[in-house]
Amino acid sequence: MKCELISIEFVCHGNICRSPLAEYLLRHLVQTRGLSDSFHIASAATSREEIGNPVHRGTRAKLQALGISTAGKCAVRLEKQDYGKYDYLIGMDRYNITDMLRILGGDPDGKVSRLLDFTDHPRDVADPWYTGDFDTAYDDVLEGCNALLDHILSQKPNFSQKSK
């Protein structure tokens, strides 16, 4: 059975640390469950500061350790029209959510959430740009991506997982 396409955009301040980490980790998770054809996953920034820049070396290192490449990914900015393109718009912290709502012009359909709001311990994902702690950012993003994926799958009973 062919499932509908679920579209997700992760958002952080610069689109070089947390949001690409979430983008590539969730892609990896859906691939391991055999669901890649059912998802469109992207990421963007709320600021213009890093537009065109590659993924931060700390994020690249965490993903490369899993055999995941971010080659070709450059920071892009969240745009108002993204609201109509995505089912889920996921920010990394409360500041991202505030900026996202400003850029998007609101959230009439309830598409905007923080990543870790899907977990049992809702909180912000600390920004490794400031902390230098990519290990904690990775752990938080992985926890959030697993919780988000579980949430989506629980809402979509027609999804059949090919492998775990």
Cα 116 to Cα 35, 105, 128, 147, 159, distances in angstroms: 22, 23, 16, 8, 23
Torsion of CA 54, 90, 84, 110, to 10 degrees: -170
* 127 part of the active site: yes
**Residue type (1 letter), 157:** P
**Catalytic choice (12, 33, 60, 99):** 12
d(CA 81, CA 98): 17
Look up 18 and say whether it is catalytic: yes
The helix (run of H) or strand (run of E) holding residue 44 is strand 39-45
Q: What is the pLDDT along the chain (164 residues), one digit of tens a residue?
A: 345 799 999 999 999 999 999 999 999 999 999 999 999 999 999 999 999 999 999 999 999 999 999 999 999 999 999 999 999 999 999 999 999 999 999 999 999 999 999 999 999 999 999 999 999 999 999 999 999 999 999 987 666 554 34
Domain spans, the chain? 6-155
Please state which CATH number belongs to domain 6-155: 3.40.50.2300
pTM of the model: 0.94
User: Which listed residue (82, 127, 140, 145) is catalytic?
Assistant: 127
Q: How far is it, in rounded angstroms, from Cα 104 to Cα 136?
A: 29
